């Protein structure tokens, strides 16, 4: 598919949204799923090709999870709104993973439980974060709170 082909020129059953509705979301490629979220391409490049190129430039889905607003907005064809859509999607994904891990009244009984709870949320951070996990008397999580954000590799926290 050439870069200058508009999505409206693509046969109806090959367009991402129509394909999703007709065949199911699991039958879309990563680029097509991203195209559904981004909605529009740029002058001279349709949204499917833009999504495909974006994924190639950043190293696929794994790179997409690690991208920042600044990195996204430096990619040709990704301006302010599309960069915001991408980082909002990443944040929603991280929140969904956290919610799923907390779904059944998550109880802390070991350090591994803490790791399981926070690994998805914290694995993509670019700086040290000191978190507080709030528990009730039965060690069931009430909530979590960021106490301090440090530098790239340290977090200086006073015991007070």
What are the tens digits of pLDDT across the range 38-96? 999 998 899 999 999 999 999 998 899 889 999 999 999 999 999 999 999 998 887 77
Answer positive or negative: Cα dihedral of 84, 65, 72, 32.
Answer: negative
Summarize pLDDT for 119-151 with one digit per residue, the tens. Answer: 877 877 778 888 888 888 999 888 888 888 877
pLDDT tens digits for range 1-12: 445 678 888 888
Which pLDDT value is given to residue 143? 80
d(CA 28, CA 125): 29
CA 120 to chain centre: 11
Say which residue the tokens 């709870």 belong to.
Answer: 117
Q: How far from the centroid of its chain's Cα atoms is residue 119's Cα?
A: 14
pTM flag (> 0.75) = no
Q: Calculate the CA dihedral of residues 24, 26, 30, 32 and round it to 10 degrees.
A: -10
* Under 8 Å between Cβ of 17 and 38: no
Using CA atoms, how far residue 153 sits from 19, 129, 146, 150, 157, in Å, is 45, 10, 16, 8, 13
Residue 92 sits at the vertex; the CA angle it makes with 145 and 60, to the nearest 5 degrees, is 120
């Amino acid at each position: 598919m050439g870069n200058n082909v508009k999505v409206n020129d693509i046969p109806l059953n090959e367009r991402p949204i129509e394909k999703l509705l007709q065949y199911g979301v699991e039958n879309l490629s990563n680029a097509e799923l991203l195209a559904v979220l981004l909605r529009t391409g740029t002058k001279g490049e349709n949204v499917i090709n833009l999504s495909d190129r974006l994924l190639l430039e950043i190293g696929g889905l794994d790179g997409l999870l690690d991208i920042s607003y600044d990195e996204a907005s430096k990619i040709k064809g990704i301006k302010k709104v599309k960069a915001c859509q991408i980082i909002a999607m990443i944040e929603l994904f991280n929140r969904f993973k956290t919610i799923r891990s907390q779904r059944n009244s998550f109880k802390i009984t070991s350090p591994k439980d803490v790791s399981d709870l926070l690994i998805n949320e914290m694995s993509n951070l670019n700086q040290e974060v000191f978190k507080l996990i709030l528990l009730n008397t039965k060690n069931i999580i009430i909530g979590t709170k960021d106490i301090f954000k440090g530098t790239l590799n340290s977090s200086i926290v006073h015991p007070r």
